[in-house]
Amino acid sequence: MTEAAGPTFGPSALATPANALTLARLLATPVFVGMILAWGPNWWTVAVGVAVAGSDGVDGWVARRQGTTRSGAFLDPLADKAVVLGAFFALAAGGHLPWAPVLLIGAREVAMSAYRSWVGRRGVSIPARTSAKAKTWVQDLAIATCLVPPLAGAHTLQLAAVWVAAAITVFTGWQYFVDGRRAFRRAAA
C-alpha cells in the first residue's frame, strides 16, 4: 500500500521537519561564527560551515516534499542572512576581509528584509528569484575562500570574491526592488 502524494503540512503549520532544520541552522550560526573568530581558517570551521550552509538545501527539499509554510518562508531567509552576515562580520572583524564590501552586503540584506516585510504587510509578495540563490552561493564561496586552509593566504582571491559577492548582492537587491514596484502596480490595477 502506498501513501498518497501531496503535502503533509499546510501553510500555517509551525512544527515541521523543514522548520526544525531551519531552526537548527539558526542555532548553529553562533557556533560557526565563534569558530571563525576563535580559529580562523581551519578544517573544523569549514566542516561546520558546509553543514550549516548545506542544511539550507536540505530544508528546502523537505519543505517542497512535505508542504511549504508561511513560517518557513519567513525563517529560511532569516537563517540564510544570519549565517552569511555572521560569517562576513566575523571575517572582517578578524582582518580577513575589508569592511566596505561586508557592510555593503549587510546593508543590502537588512534593507531587502525590511522592504519585503513592508510590501508583505501591504499584501504584496515578491517571489524569490534564481539570481538570489546564485547570490547566496557566491557569498558562500567568498566566505570559503577565507576559511579553507590552502586558500587562507590568497588575499587577492578573497578580495575579488567578496567584491563580486557584494556586486551580485546589490544587483539582486535592485531586482527585488523593481519586482516589488511591478507587484504594487499590478495590485493597484
pLDDT at 184 over 70: yes
Q: What confidence category does residue 8 fall into, taking pLDDT thresholds of 50, 70 and 90? A: confident
CATH number at residue 48: 1.20.120.1760
pLDDT at 30: 96
Q: Is residue 8 part of a domain?
A: no
Is the pLDDT reported for residue 3 higher than 50?
A: no
Question: Could you read off the pLDDT of 96-151 as tens digits, one per residue?
Answer: 999 999 999 999 999 988 888 888 788 877 777 889 889 999 999 999 999 999 99
The answer on pLDDT for 25 being more than 70 is: yes
On whether residue 2 sits in a domain, the answer given is no
Residues 6+ apart with CB under 8 A from 158: 96, 97, 142, 145, 146, 151
Q: Is the pLDDT of residue 32 over 70?
A: yes
Residues spanned by the domain of 82: 17-188
Contact 102, 92 (CB under 8 A): yes
- Crossing angle of the two packed helices 43-66 and 17-39, in degrees rounded to 10: 170
Does a structural domain hold residue 131?
Answer: yes
Q: Considering the entire predicted model, what is its pTM?
A: 0.86
Q: How many other C-beta atoms lie within 10 A of the C-beta of residue 184?
A: 15
- Cell reading at 65: 516534499
Residue 5: predicted pLDDT? 53
Nearest-angstrom CA–CA distance, 144 and 161: 10
